[in-house]
Structure 1
Amino acid sequence: MLTEELVVDARLPVGPAISPDGRRVAYGEMPGRTIWVVAVDGGAPPRELGQGIDPKWSPDSRYVYFRTEGQLHREPVEGGGRRSWSGEAAAYLPLADHHTVAVLSPDPGESDPWVWSEAAGRHRLRLLDVRSGEVYTPEVFQGRHVAEVAERPGGGMLAVLTQESPDPGDLRPRLHLFDPATGETRELGACAVPAGSLTWWEAVDGWHVAYVATTPPGPVGGNAVLDVALTDGKHRNLTEGLPFCPLTLTSGGLVLVADGLDAAIHRLDPVTRRLAELLRLTGQAFWLTADADGATVAVARSEAYEPRSVFAGPVQGPLVRRTDTAPELRAIGWGAQERLSYRGHDGLDLDGLLVLPPGKSRDDGPFSLVTFAHGGPYGRWADQLLLQHHEPAQWLAGDGHAVFLPNPRGGQGHGHAFAANGTVGREEWQDVITGIDLLIERGIADPDRLGIGGYSHGGYLAAWAVGQTDRFKAALVGAGISDWGMLAATGEFGPFEAALGGSHGWEGRGPHPHDERSPISYASRIRTPVLIVHGAQDTNVPLGQAEFLHRALRWFGVEHEFVVYPREGHAIAERNHRIDLLRRTRSWFRRLR
């Protein structure tokens, strides 16, 4: 029997990292924050190293590094004595000389109060000598926040990504080169935003640095691989016009992409500088990692009825599962999960998923239907096991509902044009309602028993939906947006939110474009019972968004419940809170029966 405890206690691998020699994979495990190592060839069972996060390998593959609060650790993979160094390490990278670790950390002793103009919280690049324990801080990139570093294969030059501030909404990232041996730096210009997944790769004309960012001009739209040849320093989009979306880069010029409901591994061609597919991966994939020459890879994957596991093997396949951290889920009878293809109101090709109650087929319909929208909006539903509180398809199906998981325009998996096509609350909403009507027409969904929900941008779509129609009998708004103008002013990603909403609140007296796209503007129309859930410490979508909707619904006398989880951010993490949220979710949608 599927219970709340079975869902939240399932152990899942995170952040796999393959050793440079391609023989082993280190990975974390949640919940519990434990580091494990497993052999790529399956010749030995996984071995626990201890508590920690963010595993990385030494260049000689002899040691695994990992972090705990206030400390960096190094553990010999063959066993032996652990070494530890005190000090905050927001990020780190063991370097090829075997004796140095690049560490990103803020200066100690920040002042109280916080002063925006005094560079509080900016990470600086530091070099830790693991033999002596001494830390050297090069006097480079003064006043800028160091966000990411990547070392050229074989050692030497570092590619360094900086921002003007630690603010996630910083629109002024820059790329640099830094030689730790000489202290010399070189500017490689402004980056597209938000830049990340910094990687070196070698083309026929020499070394390049590539990164993933929103397709220029950004910040709204699909991801792209931006490439910088060291010969000229120009930033070129290598994925323009392609029908899929890059997710991450890794060594050997390998690229993990979202491709429809699935994923794939591509390689940057050293001659054409285009992506060439090497291996398709059914379902969802995360954290592609490769050995030193890109011949052996590991990735975390989930398929429709299988929880996330680490798979490893040759880059062109086959990849073999090397972890089995949640075998208890294999005994559960899941609802049938179907892939959907349909056309939007204007003929655009769309996809999504349909999950039926366990043991049921379409012929047993019509069912109560819960539509669950994905976050982002630059997210997607892939054909994976969808069980957790923020993606509760199988959880709700187990309570007798059919669940529709639409991938409307604005999301990932179909290239930049698809991601940039449409306005929040408009075309994307039409894509969702078109899919619901199709399921009603086919006898799968009961038009009198419809519900809708989602988290983050999915919560926005749920709040938007109930202000546009009274067809839904229940709604769940999780960490959702009710007012784009307020979010642009108070959320972590202000410029991104302003681009989605269409304006800032300080652009004259208004009305503003964001008012037309904000659910709060239509609160007087809401008749649907709404469950509002939010983390008290959410800085991505601050709690005020939920309070605004709650007060409006209370003012208009709309049935609703407002639940705030203390100590939680944008994601609900504490075990008791996740159990409570799963129970509330099922209970709320039982009014569709």
Structure 2
Amino acid sequence: MNMKKVTFLLLIAALFTALSSVQIYAQGLTADDIVKIESVGSVAMSPNGDHVAYTLSVPRTEDDDVGRNFSELYIIPADGGEAINVIEKPNGAGSPNWGPDGRLYFTSQISDHHNQTQVYSVNRSGEDLQKHTDAENGVSSYQWAQDGSAIAYTSLDPVSDEQKEMDEKGFDMIVAGENVRYMGLWVQPRDGNATRITPDDLYVYDFSWAPNGEQLAVRISEKTGADADQMYTRYSVINRDGSGMRDLMDQPMKKGAMSWSPDGTKLAVLAGKVYSDPLPQRLWVLNTDGSGNRDLTPDDWEMTIEWAGWQDNRTVLFTAVQRSVTTLNSMRTDREGITRILGGGDEIFRGISLNERKTAFAASVNTKLHPNEVYVVNNLRRANLERLTHHNEWLNEKEFGEQTSITWAGADDLEIEGILVKPVDYREGTRYPMIILPHGGPEGISLNGWNTRALYPAQVLANEGYVVFEPNYRGSGGRGTAFASANHRDLGGKEFEDVLLGTDYLDEMELIDPERVGMSGTSYGGYFSAWAATRYSDRFAATITFAGLSNWISFMGTTDIPHEMSVVHWDLYWFNNPGQNWERSPVAWLNHADTPILVAHGLADDRVHPEQSIQLHQFLEMKEIPTGLVLYPREPHGLTERAHQLDFMQRVIDWFGERVK
């Protein structure tokens, strides 16, 4: 055979191989797919259970103006059928709730009505649009009294006319402690004017009407900001005219939403166990007369409660994350024990919306194969989830990497769980490169449902031929207070050993090539990525950090949650032990590092200041360690714009393709 013929045959073989590879990968998810996914947000079942309202996150296309996703509003019959589009882009809607009069209420900033977010309503046919509020600085949250006599809403203080005039003259200095704006609570009778019922120097973070319509429960603080919201609020009760405020629970710790018992004598609230509990994950019952509070959550429960509401005066319903699944449960307040109603399988839901009789509900549900869609349970006694919406039918034509939950022995033989995704074209007996995607928090959690998004493109990476590993290391949610607190005073210690031991476990399974391991994470997951590439440089071929922490001491001086981070994550203030904070900082280990690190950050991030990425990148360059820096204008603690999402995912593919794959 002559050389020309050999060369020709080799070229044909190479072309066939390339085309086969493209064909295989084309079956899975790509970055372009991720930025066109629609996802259900809030859901609200009508009082009679006949209809469900829901918001739908609709991505912008390349022809739309730059910005985050649109939020459209729909109504769909609870027994199935065609959904009615109530608000469509470019207008948006949020917070759908059914009023006592049977109308659907929601917040919107409709361009031809008002330049601020207000409360609107439509009838069940999606018609007869009406505006109900005229708050000078817009409405943040709202709720109707059960008898329909009044609507309550929160609104942020507007900028004073004097300050506006000074700003126009250039005197727009930002001075700490000056021009503080509070969120007030307003009550507006159905046929009257709104009146502010909370003091001017009190910030209202949440509220709920009492069943009798004469009182409201509020979560409040004299302090403003993210730290106050997470750590320093209290539960109180106030009369609807603003009189008689009294505190029910004021100890500092994480606190969440409130729900009144039907008889108005008790509040079910979600709060931490103690000051240092990383999550408001326990069920408390507060007597509304101030006579006592009870934490009903046994310490041996391995779950994180996320939503609670009353079924009757003695029974509380609640949803919980249990390891990597979610459940709906009930508990009596007068006896011990819980009853699981449904969950624990493939359907992931984080809260429910009940009908008036508490016999049916709607929820936003996702699975391994689709993002959030509307589901209903039409009979709570039988509790079968039924899917109502199908917003991404094209996903049915895609091939997904097999996704499972796995466990392994972490540090001190503590059982650790995580999510494993195999490559789309997985072949038994082949060792694959692996990308680890650690969640943030660290009290976040990776669930065994839909887990692919721009900053965590799990199935995109599986489509690129990687094993994807999402470990729920100690410190994660989903397993109660003790597990979430198990990393206290040891950040980057045994929690990271849990991840390394998980990698060793997958190596022992002969699933991965331990020489080809990368990591990409956001926020605290970004800290893990920077820590992996510096302190444990010998274990990782390349990493990517987005909005990640690199220097614990400077982070504490620039974040909007210095107390929250110190109390519920470190359980230690840095100035009481600066040596450990520095020793656990990635930049402290650059002399031991040679792993390439791609560094990315949003320029509007208040949680993790961009300086964390800028200094890491600069130090890497000074040490001549391969690196790159990408800064995204307008982006907060995440990525919200289509072009930025596409850009980041392509960089992930390229960075790991060159250095790990």
- Shift in Å, 1:103: 1.0
The one-letter code matched in structure 2 to 1:218 is: S
Pair 1:269 & 2:354 matched: no
- Shift in Å, 1:563: 0.7
SS of equivalent residue, structure 1 residue 538: coil
Q: Which residue of 1 aligns with 2:392?
A: 326
SS of equivalent residue, structure 1 residue 169: helix
Q: What does 1:120-519 align with in structure 2 at a 5 Å threshold?
A: 120-132=180-192, 134-138=193-197, 140-153=198-211, 155-170=213-228, 171-180=231-240, 183-201=243-261, 207-220=265-278, 223-241=281-299, 242-252=301-311, 253-272=316-335, 275-283=338-346, 284-313=348-377, 314-316=379-381, 317-361=383-427, 363-422=428-487, 423-469=490-536, 470-499=538-567, 500-501=569-570, 503-504=572-573, 506-507=575-576, 511-519=578-586
The one-letter code matched in structure 2 to 1:348 is: L
1:68-87 deviations in Å (ceiling 9; x for gaps): 34322122223432112333
Given the superposition, is the C-alpha separation of residues 21 and 183 from structure 1 closer, same or farther in structure 2, using an over 3 Å criterion?
farther
2: CA distance, partners of 1:276 / 1:323: 29
Given the superposition, is the C-alpha separation of residues 209 and 113 from structure 1 closer, same or farther in structure 2, using an over 3 Å criterion?
farther
2: CA distance, partners of 1:20 / 1:141: 33
What is the aligned residue count? 585
Percentage of identical aligned residues = 25
- Shift in Å, 1:231: 4.5
Which deviates more, 18-27 or 461-470? 18-27
- 5+ residue gaps in structure 1? none
Pair 1:73 & 2:120 matched: yes
- Shift in Å, 1:289: 1.9
Q: Pick one of 27, 31, 36 that aligns with 1:9.
A: 36
Given the superposition, is the C-alpha separation of residues 576 and 346 from structure 1 closer, same or farther in structure 2, using an over 3 Å criterion?
same
1:428-478 deviations in Å (ceiling 9; x for gaps): 101000000111111101011111111111111111111222221110111
2: CA distance, partners of 1:511 / 1:576: 40
- Shift in Å, 1:503: 4.5
Partners of 1:222 and 1:415 within 8 A in 2: no
Q: Pick one of 104, 118, 135 that aligns with 1:63.
A: 104
Which deviates more, 55-64 or 522-531? 55-64
Partners of 1:251 and 1:293 within 8 A in 2: no
Which deviates more, 340-349 or 268-277? 268-277
Partners of 2:34 and 2:453 within 8 A in 1: yes
Given the superposition, is the C-alpha separation of residues 575 and 406 from structure 1 closer, same or farther in structure 2, using an over 3 Å criterion?
same
- Shift in Å, 1:211: 1.8
Given the superposition, is the C-alpha separation of residues 546 and 250 from structure 1 closer, same or farther in structure 2, using an over 3 Å criterion?
farther
2: CA distance, partners of 1:182 / 1:401: 59
SS of equivalent residue, structure 1 residue 588: helix
Which deviates more, 53-62 or 238-247? 53-62
1: CA distance, partners of 2:75 / 2:126: 11
SS of equivalent residue, structure 2 residue 452: coil
SS of equivalent residue, structure 1 residue 346: helix
What TM-score do you get using the length of structure 2 for normalisation? Answer: 0.84
Q: What does 1:501-540 align with in structure 2 at a 5 Å threshold?
A: 501=570, 503-504=572-573, 506-507=575-576, 511-540=578-607
2: CA distance, partners of 1:398 / 1:585: 13
1: CA distance, partners of 2:341 / 2:212: 25
2: CA distance, partners of 1:37 / 1:357: 38
Given the superposition, is the C-alpha separation of residues 546 and 515 from structure 1 closer, same or farther in structure 2, using an over 3 Å criterion?
same
Given the superposition, is the C-alpha separation of residues 219 and 417 from structure 1 closer, same or farther in structure 2, using an over 3 Å criterion?
closer
Partners of 1:467 and 1:523 within 8 A in 2: yes
What TM-score do you get using the length of structure 1 for normalisation? Answer: 0.93
1: CA distance, partners of 2:188 / 2:279: 38
Partners of 1:503 and 1:512 within 8 A in 2: no
- 5+ residue gaps in structure 2? 1-25, 59-69, 110-115, 164-171
The one-letter code matched in structure 2 to 1:27 is: Y
- Shift in Å, 1:556: 0.9
Given the superposition, is the C-alpha separation of residues 214 and 474 from structure 1 closer, same or farther in structure 2, using an over 3 Å criterion?
same
Which deviates more, 61-70 or 414-423? 61-70
- Shift in Å, 1:192: 4.8
Partners of 2:547 and 2:637 within 8 A in 1: yes
Specify the structure having the higher radius of gyration (Cα): 2
SS of equivalent residue, structure 1 residue 335: coil
- Shift in Å, 1:295: 2.0
- Shift in Å, 1:160: 0.7
Pair 1:23 & 2:61 matched: no
Given the superposition, is the C-alpha separation of residues 419 and 77 from structure 1 closer, same or farther in structure 2, using an over 3 Å criterion?
same
Let me know the Cα RMSD of the aligned residues. Answer: 2.1
Pair 1:48 & 2:111 matched: no
Given the superposition, is the C-alpha separation of residues 280 and 12 from structure 1 closer, same or farther in structure 2, using an over 3 Å criterion?
same
Pair 1:38 & 2:76 matched: yes
Q: Which one has the bigger strand percentage?
A: 1
Which deviates more, 148-157 or 529-538? 148-157
- Shift in Å, 1:536: 0.5
- Shift in Å, 1:270: 3.5
- Shift in Å, 1:557: 1.0
Partners of 1:150 and 1:160 within 8 A in 2: yes
Partners of 2:596 and 2:626 within 8 A in 1: yes
Q: Which residue of 2 aligns with 1:564?
A: 631
Partners of 2:254 and 2:278 within 8 A in 1: no
Q: Which residue of 1 aligns with 2:17?
A: none
- Shift in Å, 1:262: 0.6
SS of equivalent residue, structure 1 residue 56: strand
2: CA distance, partners of 1:416 / 1:517: 23
2: CA distance, partners of 1:451 / 1:48: 43
Given the superposition, is the C-alpha separation of residues 464 and 281 from structure 1 closer, same or farther in structure 2, using an over 3 Å criterion?
same
Pair 1:92 & 2:155 matched: no
1: CA distance, partners of 2:281 / 2:108: 29
Which deviates more, 311-320 or 391-400? 311-320
1: CA distance, partners of 2:179 / 2:328: 39
- Shift in Å, 1:293: 3.7
1:97-123 deviations in Å (ceiling 9; x for gaps): 324221111222244545554562210
Which deviates more, 266-275 or 336-345? 266-275
2: CA distance, partners of 1:582 / 1:149: 39
Q: Which residue of 2 aligns with 1:104?
A: 154
The one-letter code matched in structure 2 to 1:199 is: S
SS of equivalent residue, structure 1 residue 22: coil
The one-letter code matched in structure 2 to 1:410 is: G
Partners of 1:251 and 1:291 within 8 A in 2: no
Given the superposition, is the C-alpha separation of residues 538 and 94 from structure 1 closer, same or farther in structure 2, using an over 3 Å criterion?
same
- Shift in Å, 1:125: 0.6
Given the superposition, is the C-alpha separation of residues 166 and 251 from structure 1 closer, same or farther in structure 2, using an over 3 Å criterion?
farther
